[in-house]
Amino acid sequence: MRKKIFLAFLSLLLIFVSGSLISSKYIVDATEGLQKLLQMHKIDDMSKALSLSIRTVQTDLFSLRTPVSRDLDTIINNVREMEGLVNKCYSCHHKEWLVKKFNRMSEGIRLYKGALSLYVTSSANTPRMERLGIEATQMGEALMERVEEVSSLASTRFSQVTEESLGRIKNVRLILLGTLALTFLIGVFAAIHITRALMAPLGVFTEGTRKIASGNLGHTVPSEGMTEFKELAEYFNKMSMELKIAHEEQESTNRELNNEINERKQAEEEKNRLMDQLVHARKLEAIGTLSGGIAHEFNNLLQVIQGCADLMDITIDSDSAARKHLSTIITTAHRGGDLTKRLLAFSRKVDGESRVMDLNTKLGQVFVILQQTLPRNIDIELHLSPVPATIAADPSGIEQLLLNMALNAKDAMPDGGRLRLSTRLVEIDECKLDGVPGSADTCILLEIADNGCGMDEETRALIFDPFFTTKEVGAGTGLGLSVTYGLVNAYGGYIECESAPGRGTTFSIFFPQAREDVAERLPRDRQLTFNDVTGGRVLIADDEHGIVESAATVLQSMGYEVVTASTGEEAIEICKKDRIDLIALDLGMPGMGGISCLDAISTLSEPKPKAIITTGYGLDDAGRNDILKKAERILQKPYRLTEFISAVREALLKK
């Protein structure tokens, strides 16, 4: 294409230049012709002026010696002017034939001047003067003829030169017009050809670009035709392919970014969920700690009341009127103990001991109870895992948990409904349990689901809080789900609730599946035996005076030798000084505390005193197991004095 455009412009240039050169030559010739024409024009003018001048002199001659004659000076000047014109003509022409004519003209003038001079200076002789005048006139006429001959030649030549010049000008005009017309035609032809040659490929490229713009990335155009367009097509196709690749890469990157964003969102949601859980857990933990502390203090107080009541029960007559009131005190103290026990359960300070049990078995037992106790308009479904759902827990705690949940479900279905109890083994990934020590690859999922009224989100967020209840005043303690929560956590499990108003409620409880080694480590059911008191020296260490007093009194009444201490340090000193068979040690003493005291005592030389731990706090399994390595028994306050006595007895009997 480039070559064609170049050739088109080159041909235009050549035509233009050649036309210009030819025109220039003709213009130069025409100009020269015009100059010659001007010269000829001057010559023609001069010849006419010469004729006129001769006529003037002739006129002077005719009018001489008449009243209108000019003076001699004027006549002489006219003659000299005439002669000057001839000399001027003479100086311009060099052609021989012309020179001859001018020579003749000059000779004529010389003779004319002589005759004129004779005539103008003649006087007195009239015939002579007339003759001289005629001679001069004739010479003037002869000169005139010669001048007119030359003038005629000049005119002829003038006409020739004029025609030649006009001819040249005509040629110039023709050549210029021809050049312009030819240039125009070639220009139009070249423009049409080049435009056609450009438009077809441009159309292809325009269509290709439109397709790419409409999203058809990777669209290619045929690589053919002229070199430039072929090259352009190759680059175009390359560009299109690169656009396609870049677009795909971008889409891939976008997908990855979206995935990453989704993952991050999910992670964020999970984090938020965990944060919510953590906050909730901490809140419940704080409440648990508080309620545990309160329970401990209450237990001590209840223990004093319980102890004193037990002493009174021993000391007053069986028919005493006070016995009725004493019974009320003992019952109330017992109820108070139940209440604090629940609080301790919520704060995971459960009293019971964990052991390996089959949740399916316990669920079957509870199913039977529920069938008997729940209204008949509630259908109870039981779906148990095909394999034993072994967990490490206190069976009584699990039973309490199941009953609490079933009762809540019943309350959520006042018009009847369906209660579904199920267990299944799930993979550890689904367990939502983290950091379960010694946990297996699987966990047990216990689901308790109803299709009752359900809860809104606000309610759902508060269900595990102690003393939160939706029931009427007096209809519930608000501790059921709190205790459940505490128990599940105490057994290393996790509970979650899914509910919506009108859609029922499902509680999912994950327990770590108990493995064999754990099962072995945990105690099996114990069989307690009661024997008679064998006597012994018992140290009661407790900072609560009432407890010490009541316990000492009953032990002394039972034949035991009793020593008391109010701090751990005091207890250790006593143990070091005297022989002590058994020490009833309160964990919550001021000073070094019960645990440190127990550690110190355990390091004493034999015979070491046996130990019973009393506590108003709850203990987790780990703490309990740790203490039981050094002590015979743990008594949860408030305990009955009978229970205390049997614990003392049992410990002293133990080898």
Site residues (vs another protein, CB under 8 A)? 72-73, 76, 79-80, 113-114, 116-118, 120-125, 128
DSSP 97-110: HHHHHHHHHHHHHH
Nearer to another protein, 102 or 112 (CB): 112
Task: Tell the smallest beta-carbon distance from residue 35 to another protein (Å).
Answer: 35
Nearer to another protein, 130 or 224 (CB): 130
Pick between residue 108 and residue 292 the one whose CB is nearest to another protein: 108
Comparison of 121 and 372: residue with beta carbon closer to another protein: 121
- Which phi and psi (to 5°) does residue 356 adopt? -75, 130
What is the CB neighbour count within 10 angstroms for residue 122? 16
Strand runs (DSSP E) across 137-252, as ranges?
none
Q: Report, in Å, the least distance between residue 51 CB and another protein.
A: 20
Residue 119 Cβ vs another protein, minimum distance, rounded to whole Å: 9
Nearer to another protein, 76 or 311 (CB): 76
Instruction: In angstroms, give the least distance from the CB of 120 to another protein.
Output: 5
Specify whether the CB–CB gap between 158 and 33 falls below 8 A.
no
Of the two residues 70 and 418, which places its CB atom closer to another protein in the complex? 70
Could you tell me if 385 and 425 are in contact, meaning their C-beta atoms sit under 8 angstroms apart? yes
HSE toward the beta carbon, residue 602, CA cutoff 13 A:
16
For the bound state, the minimum distance from the C-beta of residue 116 to another protein, rounded and expressed in Å, comes to 8
> In sequence order, which ranges of 507-616 are alpha helices (DSSP H)?
516-521, 545-557, 568-577, 593-602
- Phi and psi torsions of 190, nearest 5°: -65, -40
Give the nearest distance from C-beta 151 to another protein in angstroms: 24
Lookup: tokens for 420? 């579904």
Shortest separation between residue 140's beta carbon and another protein, angstroms:
14
Closest to another protein by CB, 124 vs 321, is 124
* Helical axes 641-653 vs 227-315, angle rounded to 10°: 100
Whether residue 570 contacts residue 585, with contact meaning beta carbons closer than 8 Å, is answered with no
What is the C-alpha separation between 360 and 452, in angstroms, rounded?
24
Parallel, antiparallel, or unpaired: how do β-strands 442-450 and 390-393 relate? unpaired
Give the nearer residue to another protein in terms of CB position, either 120 or 651: 120
Tokens standing for residue 82: 């005439």
Q: Which helix (H) or strand (E) holds 357?
A: strand 355-358
CA distance 594 to 255: 63
For residue 623, how far is the Cα from the chain centroid?
51
Backbone angles phi, psi at 267, to 5 degrees: -60, -40
Q: Which is nearer to another protein, 73 or 317 (CB)?
A: 73
Q: Residues with Cβ < 8 Å from 330, sequence gap 6 or more?
A: 306, 309, 310, 313
Q: In whole angstroms, what separates CA 199 from the centre of its chain?
A: 44
Provide, rounded to whole angstroms, the least separation between the CB of residue 56 and another protein. Answer: 16
- Between 59 and 508, name the residue whose CB sits nearer to another protein: 59
Closer Cβ to another protein, 78 or 614, answer by number = 78
- Angle, helices 96-121 vs 2-63, to 10°: value is 20
3-state secondary structure of 355: strand
- Rounded to a whole number of angstroms, the minimum distance from the CB of residue 121 to another protein is 3
The nearest distance, CB 155 to another protein, in angstroms, is: 30
Residue 633 structure tokens: 């028994």
In contact, 614 and 312? CB cutoff 8 Å: no
- Smallest separation (angstroms) from another protein to the CB of 172: 50
Nearer to another protein, 121 or 214 (CB): 121
Q: How far is the CB of 79 from another protein (least distance, A)?
A: 7
Task: Output DSSP code: residue 525.
Answer: -
Distance, in Å, from the CA atom of 532 to the CA atom of 294, rounded to the nearest integer, reads: 36
Please identify, using beta-carbon distances, which residue of 73 and 525 lies nearer to another protein. Answer: 73
The CA dihedral of 483, 487, 493, 495, to the nearest 10 degrees, is -10
Please answer whether residues 512 and 493 qualify as being in contact, where contact means their C-beta atoms are separated by less than 8 angstroms: yes
Cα atoms in the Cβ-side hemisphere of radius 13 Å centred on 647? 24
- Nearest Cα neighbor of 42 from 120, 132, 154 is 154
The residue among 73 and 415 lying less far from another protein, judged by its C-beta, is 73
The pair of structure tokens assigned to 501 is 């108003």
Measured from the CB of residue 160, what is the shortest distance to another protein in angstroms?
37
- Cβ proximity to another protein: between 131 and 230 the closer is 131
* Secondary structure letter of residue 513 according to DSSP: P
Query: CB of residue 85 vs another protein: minimum separation in angstroms?
Result: 15
Under 8 Å between Cβ of 61 and 133: yes
Per-residue H/E/C for 306-371? HHHHHHHHHHCCCCCCHHHHHHHHHHHHHHHHHHHHHHHHHCCCCCCCCEEEEHHHHHHHHHHHHH
CB-nearer residue toward another protein: 80 or 335: 80
CA–CA dist 508, 487 (Å, integer): 14
Amino acid letter, 153 = L
Beta strands 537-541 and 561-565: pairing type? parallel
Distance in Å, CB of 112 to another protein, minimum: 10
DSSP reduced 3-state for 587: coil
Residues near 512 by beta carbon (within 8 Å), at least 6 away in sequence: 391, 392, 431, 433, 436, 438, 439, 440, 443, 444, 492, 493
Give the shortest CB-124-to-another protein separation in angstroms. Answer: 3
